């Protein structure tokens, strides 16, 4: 604990080398730990990176009651479980929507139109610039709030809002063009 307090003091003073030492020591084991919870290594790496980002960003406000190791593991555990809960809600919603769609009587013509609309949306999303697409996916598919996206990508909330507005405008234009053809 004494060593952790010393290292934390160094980190609070902005010592990058002390931070890098902690990062190198715990990054891989934390990724494995998060992957054990989320069952997705890519997601686990993002979670661990976010925890380390916040650890550095909020270094002046950090209050450790145990050790740096327990703080990091608890943070990764909480974020991993939060991700899993969010994923579970999303999957239940998707199942409900799919079930409703299957229960609704659709003609082959309507099914084809739905497929064409989905393809038009997919094409539009592929045309978006990388950052705009990432922001759109984080908000619409992962359910993240603008502030969380801004924090994760190190941009302002206004930038996230502007990128979402542009992405939605592009989708509306594509949908309007598509529906005018029908």
CB 120 within 8 A of CB 174: yes
Structure tokens at 167: 């992405």
Write the DSSP symbol of residue 141.
T
Q: What per-residue confidence (pLDDT) applies to 8?
A: 82
Provide the 10 A C-beta neighbour count for residue 52. Answer: 19
Location of structure tokens 């740096």: 68
Q: Measure the CA–CA gap between 137 and 131, rounded to whole angstroms.
A: 10
Q: What per-residue confidence (pLDDT) applies to 12?
A: 87
Structure tokens at 142: 């992962």
Q: Measure the CA–CA gap between 97 and 171, rounded to whole angstroms.
A: 21
Location of structure tokens 């974020």: 79
Q: What per-residue confidence (pLDDT) applies to 98?
A: 67
Q: What per-residue confidence (pLDDT) applies to 24?
A: 95
The 3-class SS string of 15-49 reads CHHHHHHHHHHHHHHHHHHHHHHHCCHHHHHHHHH
> Helical H runs in 62-182?
68-103, 108-127, 130-140, 146-153, 157-181
Please report the sign of the dihedral spanned by the C-alpha atoms of residue 59, residue 60, residue 62, residue 67.
positive
Q: Mean pLDDT of successive 10-residue segments in the chain (182 residues)?
A: 76 90 95 93 93 90 82 94 84 73 69 81 87 90 88 91 92 76 56
């Amino acid at each position: 604990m004494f060593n952790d307090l010393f290292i934390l003091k160094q980190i609070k003073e902005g010592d990058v080398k002390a931070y890098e030492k902690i990062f190198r020591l715990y990054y891989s084991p934390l990724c494995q730990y998060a992957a054990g919870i989320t069952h997705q290594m890519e997601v686990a790496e993002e979670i661990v990176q976010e925890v380390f980002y916040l650890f550095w960003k909020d270094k002046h406000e950090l209050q450790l009651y145990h050790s740096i190791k327990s703080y990091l593991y608890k943070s990764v555990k909480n974020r991993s479980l939060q991700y899993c809960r969010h994923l579970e809600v999303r999957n239940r919603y998707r199942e409900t929507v799919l079930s409703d769609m299957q229960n609704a009587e659709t003609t082959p013509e309507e099914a084809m139109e739905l497929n064409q609309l989905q393809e038009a949306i997919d094409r539009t999303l592929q045309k978006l610039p990388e950052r705009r697409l990432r922001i759109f996916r984080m908000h619409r598919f992962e359910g993240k709030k603008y502030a969380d996206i801004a924090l994760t990508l190190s941009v302002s909330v206004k930038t996230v809002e502007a990128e979402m507005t542009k992405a939605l405008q592009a989708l509306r234009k594509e949908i309007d063009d598509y529906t005018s053809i029908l």
